[in-house]
Amino acid sequence: MGHRGIGFRSLAEPWLDTTSAHGKLIFDMFASLAEYERSRLSERTRAGLAAAKARGRLGGRPPAMTPAKLEAAKDLRRQGRKLHEIAETLSVSMSTLTRALGPRTASKHRNRPPFGRLLKSVP
């Protein structure tokens, strides 16, 4: 039992009784085996990632915006298409599209501070 005097007794598995020395021993053995297996799994995962990296593979999801899609997006933007139309055409999200296209170069609101009208009314 722990420092608070709380134990566990399973009704379905009589061997799992942490209130007795025998049950605690078995429980601790299973806990040790589980911890060992978790450590081995972690080691194998790290080794696999290192081997994949050595072969030139990078982890993670492949980028949604390929170089071909980026060029298509730029062409469509030059043609005057709206961002949501371009995103739908290329099957990417708006955030992916705006991140790939970068900051807007010509904006009619470029020099206006955010919430400009609201700031003028503040004394």
Hey, which bits of the chain come out as E strands?
none
Q: Residues 96-109: what's their mean pLDDT?
A: 72
68 in the Ramachandran plot: left (φ > 0), alpha (ψ -120 to 50) or beta?
alpha
Examine the pLDDT at 35 and tell me if it is beyond 90: yes
Higher-scoring residue by pLDDT: 26, 122:
26
3-state DSSP assignment of residue 63 = coil
How much is the average pLDDT of 25-35? 93
Q: What's the CA gap between 41 and 7, in Å, rounded?
A: 30
For residue 17, the 8-state DSSP code is: B
As a whole-number percent, the residues of the chain with pLDDT over 70 amount to 82
pLDDT at residue 58 above 90? no
CB atoms within 10 A of CB 77: 16
- Tokens for 20, please give them: 């007795």
Confidence class of residue 117 from pLDDT cuts 50, 70 and 90?
A: low
Phi, psi dihedral angles at 79 (to 5 degrees): -75, -5
pLDDT at 107 over 50: no
Neighbours of 79 (CB within 10 A): 8
pLDDT band at 103 (very low <50, low <70, confident <90, very high): confident
